[in-house]
């Protein structure tokens, strides 16, 4: 996967986390909001990890 696709994945993780966080906290279902927090943590770590990963693909379209 090139850098752009990894960032697209991070973006998706952020957006998918939103309903989990809202529904999980609103209906008091901890596994749901915990999964939301996990998704956001993963989304936040992806761009940082990319910075320290040698890029072999510039991702030009």
Partner 1 sequence: MTDSTLPINIGYWLLAFSPIVLLLVLLAVLRWKAPEAGPVGMLLAAVVALVFFRTPFETLAVGVGKGIWDAVFILLVIWPALLLYRVGTAAGAFDALRRGLSRYSRNHVFLVLGFGWVFASFMQGIAGFGAPIAIVAPLLLAVGVRPVYAVAIPLIGHAWANMFGTLAVGWIATLQVVDLDDEISTALITAVLLAPVTLMAGVTIAWMAGKGRGVRVAWPLILIISALHAGLQFVIMYWEPLLSAFLASTVALAALYPLSRWSRYREPARDVRERPAMRDDAGEGDEAESEPTMGLGWALLPYAVLTLVAVVTLAVPPVVDLLDQIEFGPPFPGADTGFDVVNEGERPYSPIAPFTHPGFPLAVAVLTTWLVYRARGFYAARRRQEGSQPIWSSLATDATPASVAILSFLVLAAVMEHSGQTDVLAQGLEQVSPPLVYAFLANVVGLIGAFMTSSNTASNVLFAQLQQGVAAGTGLSGNAVVAAQSAGGAIGNAVAPANIVLGTGTAGIVGQEGAVLRKTLPWTVAAAVVIGLLTLLFV
Q: Which residue number, 25 or 57, has a Cβ lying nearer to partner 1?
A: 25
Residues in the chain: 61
Is-contact 33 7, C-beta < 8 A? no
Q: Which residue number, 30 or 54, has a Cβ lying nearer to partner 1?
A: 30
Chain residues binding partner 1 by CB under 8 A are 4, 7-8, 10-11, 14-15, 17-19, 21-22, 24-26, 28, 30, 33-34, 36-37, 40-41, 43-48, 50-51, 61
Q: Which residue number, 23 or 56, has a Cβ lying nearer to partner 1?
A: 23
């Amino acid at each position: 996967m090139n850098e752009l696709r990894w960032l697209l994945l991070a973006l998706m993780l952020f957006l998918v986390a939103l309903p989990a966080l809202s529904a999980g906290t609103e209906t008091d279902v901890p596994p749901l909001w915990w999964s939301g927090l996990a998704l956001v943590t993963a989304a936040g770590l992806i761009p940082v990890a990319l910075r320290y990963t040698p890029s072999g693909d510039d991702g030009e379209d």
